[in-house]
Structure 1
């Protein structure tokens, strides 16, 4: 059994590294589709529908004997998961990606575990002891991570790697193809307040992280009441598909927007099958073996993979603000996850010590 667990641990580490590589590829492939002119809502609908088409049969057959009965409260929870983790999370990510580049989009993702930590503290799920070094490290790492996210919004800086004019060329191509402005009235209002498109893009990425944070925080207690992982995912994607379709029918005016080009079809297939269906399965399976602390340690690999892939395939530049802000986010993430790991090891050590003392006495 120990040998089997050791083999599963090794496979889980490899799976997490591959998952982040797949996420990095998603940002690059999706950026190409956005440059071609795919509508954000249409892209989300096709992606969610494909993921639901893959996950629903698997959940039905694999968990048909272990799936608890559905109640109204569970349906409301599934609806909220679809609203935050599927609809809001994906749409905000696409808006942020369209206004920035894959490097910024991937650099913001490591903030998700830290934002999740903040929300779980407010909900009472996570506890912080400020009298211990681990508690201070959690708070300090969280502040560092949030500071990095704000730095990415307020400061862009010079282009250190690549041609700065590449972003302007991509924006001109996107405008020439008639890409509609996402949420035009909201974008126009924020532009009137003095924000530019790049800052709005980064703020959308931060809001995307907040949606995923709510998705993870609410999903954790829900899985204890409804421990069917694939079914929870399938229900979440079902409501995500419904919400995306309803909004698309009101927001997408041109029927031609529903017709995908070759590069857009490739992006939808990759996003629906790999990024949604496969990656979610890898994350859940690895989380059962490694635990959330070690799983979170792999998120900083996503910006590195995205930088490499975007430089190779898109030629997008890397700015000073991206390097500084991304470095702070990664540093804050590692500090928080290190503190959480130390607290867990300390708790396990105390439990093991208490067991070894009480057993001989009994």
Structure 2
């Protein structure tokens, strides 16, 4: 009994918190590495490549060969599209972090459920019953989330807590005017990042219906993303010597990202199977607090008044969508005589509450 409780409750909780800390840690180390001159093009390319190497043995350790359809060329096209979306997604995200902060990245990431809900409605993966209180809550939660994100992006406000930073100026910024302008551009890039993440979820849902082999598809996704990123990053960076890795913080950031990115996908996949998407998604706003604390401690980033207010508003809207989705699944389960939340294996209608940059899978 004690072992069962530990496996079903303590272990998932600890794993989800660890993944959120890992994701924020990747942002923090990346931000610190850019202060030392790391190019985000170099970072993105090597991160995909290392994630690919980490996941390669998992394809053989956890093979799935029964009940799978024939691997067709049309499926490769869809996986290639996933790789393209994922590459642009990552590039926008890390450029956005360099222009703004890791705290803003963690805050804006909570827009993913709202964006996914809108796209799911457009692609008819989500059913709207306008007279239903659950549907009304999802719509209002989406609007509130986007409103909170707009506040965070466009208004910094006065610094509540700040520490004088001795960090050198960033080396890869465009010649922009003010820090406020950089903050807004960074916020818009991060919003684009999580919009692309939502698009990735929509395409992923279609691919999983065709070929339900998670580890194989994830590996192929990283493979295509690496192939796409190689020529683009080489051309965009221009300086080939920047791709020469040395034992410094840049190398640590790349290894941390590639390893954490791939293993985070594995943990989230396990969590979705064991506890369901609502449980996994409920930990996302935790990244705001973690990012704010770690950025303040390690990078000296200031905490701004309107950023905190916007983050609170965004989180309220986020949890409204979570609550509505949970009650919707509960009602479906009761209608089917289940009387409880349906497991991910039963409900695959929409990836609304699935994790990212599982970020990124």
TM-score normalised per structure 2: 0.87
Partner SS state of residue 160, structure 1: strand
Deviation at 1:335, TM superposition (A): 0.3
Farther off after superposition, 68-77 or 336-345: 68-77
More helix by share: 1
Farther off after superposition, 62-71 or 283-292: 62-71
Q: 1:339 to 1:280 in 2, by over 3 A?
A: same
Deviation at 1:3, TM superposition (A): 7.9
Deviation at 1:297, TM superposition (A): 1.1
Deviation at 1:61, TM superposition (A): 4.4
For residue 360 of structure 1, what is the aligned residue in structure 2? none
Partner SS state of residue 110, structure 1: helix
Deviation at 1:7, TM superposition (A): 2.9
Question: Does structure 1 conserve the Cα–Cα contact (< 8 Å) formed by 2:234 and 2:240?
Answer: no
For residue 227 of structure 2, what is the aligned residue in structure 1? 242
Partner SS state of residue 127, structure 2: coil
Deviation at 1:322, TM superposition (A): 1.3
Partner SS state of residue 160, structure 2: strand
C-alpha distance in 2 between matches for 1:263 and 1:305: 21
Q: Does 1:180 align with 2:172?
A: yes
Q: Does 1:77 align with 2:72?
A: no
For residue 265 of structure 2, what is the aligned residue in structure 1? 280
Q: Comparing both chains, which one has the higher relative contact order based on Cα–Cα distances under 8 Å and sequence gaps of 6 or more?
A: 1
For residue 53 of structure 1, what is the aligned residue in structure 2? 53
State which structure, 1 or 2, has the greater radius of gyration over its C-alpha atoms: 1
Q: Could you report, residue by residue, the CA deviation over 1:230-254 in whole angstroms, capped at 9, with x for unpaired residues? A: 1111111111111111102211221
Alignment of 1:1-362 (within 5 A): 4=4, 7-63=7-63, 65-66=65-66, 68-85=69-86, 87-163=87-163, 166=165, 170=167, 173-175=168-170, 179-181=171-173, 196-261=181-246, 262-274=248-260, 276-352=261-337
C-alpha distance in 2 between matches for 1:231 and 1:284: 13
Question: Does structure 2 conserve the Cα–Cα contact (< 8 Å) formed by 1:34 and 1:98?
Answer: yes
Deviation at 1:10, TM superposition (A): 4.0
C-alpha distance in 2 between matches for 1:284 and 1:301: 19
Question: Does structure 2 conserve the Cα–Cα contact (< 8 Å) formed by 1:34 and 1:174?
Answer: no
Farther off after superposition, 62-71 or 147-156: 62-71
Q: 1:257 to 1:323 in 2, by over 3 A?
A: same
> Over the residues paired in the alignment, what is the CA RMSD in angstroms?
2.4
C-alpha distance in 2 between matches for 1:202 and 1:90: 14
TM-score normalised per structure 1: 0.87
Question: Does structure 2 conserve the Cα–Cα contact (< 8 Å) formed by 1:82 and 1:236?
Answer: yes
Q: Could you report, residue by residue, the CA deviation over 1:6-43 in whole angstroms, capped at 9, with x for unpaired residues? A: 83354223222221111111111111111111111111
Partner SS state of residue 219, structure 2: helix
Question: Does structure 2 conserve the Cα–Cα contact (< 8 Å) formed by 1:38 and 1:260?
Answer: no
